[in-house]
Amino acid sequence: QSTCETLLLDDCLCDIESIDNFNTYKIFPKIQKLQERDYFRYYKVNLKRPCPFWADDGHCSIRDCHVEPCPESKVPIGIKAGSSNKYSKRANNTKELEDCEQANKLGAINSTLSNQSKEAFIDWARYDDSQDHFCELDDERSPDAQYVDLLLNPERYTGYKGPSAWRVWNSIYEENCFKPRSVYRPLNPLAPSRGESFYTWLEGLCLEKRVFYKLISGLHVSINLHLCANYLLEETWGKPRWGHNVKEFIHRFDPIETKGEGPRRLKNLYFLYLIELRALSKVAPYFERSFVDLYTGNVQEDAESKTLLLDIFRDTKSFPMHFDEKSMFAGDKKGAKSLKEEFRLHFKNISRIMDCVGCDKCRLWGKLQTQGLGTALKILFSEKEIQNLPENSPSKGFQLTRQEIVALINAFGRLSTSVKELQNFKLLLQHTR
């Protein structure tokens, strides 16, 4: 049984091969292009929020994890960020200082922004403020939120692992999966026993709660895939060489090495892909309205970005095998309403857990992908509001902020990359066996 077999996905009607082909030939090339455009490459994020659940590790642990904020003097008034840097706490001794200097390298966020970009951001803020926004995101208005150029900060292996990373993922699963404490997630290093009891429990859940677990698992798989595909293979003369780490991939996903968990996990990646794909096809009417633009101030670029985005929406609608969210929250109105609210709160909680990630670059991508998935769910839960949008004016019923739009597209871009990388690993495995 290979790691990447043709699997029929539970909870929706589709096979993996169809998704692979659709992604490789239709979605991947276009979404890559879209992510390079100015509107989508700059993400405003607050990386300074304290962890609300436990004391921060707070030491410089890994050099590939750090995000360098722009010096105060270079940041325009419009996006000035607080200048505290959690890695600048006084080190106890010289050894620690040396480690800190090294740690600042690998996990560093490269926050280089040209003066032109900074001026543009002030203009963007002016434009965004003039729009009627009915939902405010806690991060966007914080003085600590700053723009990060995603193209300068690719998601890749940073060396962030061990107890600190496990604690974050455990909190995400254990606290947020509607789960009794006696049922342990398979291969959870902190669990006393492993086995089928978890899956018996999972299958007994209502569809909504099962979906929630699969989405979190799919996100975890996707992030792991990016790290395996963009791994620091060696460093000679200070020049890092990044590439595919087949051994790491086998360790995380091979059926034998993972006691059958690998294929189950990969199924969840495809499931998440379909959910976000569905959200994109559903949100198309919001962007098809003529007054909605992807504003950067460059009229031609904005028009091209919108054309490319609408082209991707057309492709998502043409894919025949979507997850049908109508089966979710279809029960009695009262029950459905409280379940939706529970979903929303669980999600909010997960974004807060992302503030506990001890590596800035990992935190950046964790927050972005969580927000992208949160935005996808918001879209799926707002179908009526989207259908009733007025043609020529914003609506109190449904609205997306710039940050949500950027997160939605980049999060789906990461999933598209994961599905593509899975193909690459499949080929590499054929060559190595």
The binding site consists of 156, 158, 169, 217, 220, 252
Check 51, 177, 228, 359 and give the catalytic one. 359
> What's the rounded Cα separation, in Å, for the pair 13 and 48?
42
Comparing CA positions, the residue from 196, 177, 181 lying closest to residue 259 is: 196
Q: Would residue 359 show up in a list of annotated catalytic residues for this protein? A: yes
Contact 272, 16 (CB under 8 A): no
> What's the rounded Cα separation, in Å, for the pair 339 and 207?
11
> What's the rounded Cα separation, in Å, for the pair 89 and 29?
43
Burial class, 200, CB count within 10 angstroms (exposed 0-12 / middle 13-18 / buried 19+): exposed
Contact 87, 104 (CB under 8 A): yes
Q: What is the DSSP letter of 16?
A: H
Residue ranges for the known binding site for FAD are 156, 158, 169, 217, 220, 252
**b/e per residue, 218-250, with b = 16+ CB within 10 A?**
bbbbbbbbbbbbbbbeeeeeeeeeeebbeeebb
Contact 186, 259 (CB under 8 A): yes
Distances (CA, A) of 330 to 177, 266, 325: 20, 27, 9
Contact 12, 323 (CB under 8 A): yes
Q: Would residue 362 show up in a list of annotated catalytic residues for this protein? A: yes
First-to-last alpha carbon distance for the chain, in angstroms, is 14
User: Catalytic residue positions?
Assistant: 359, 362
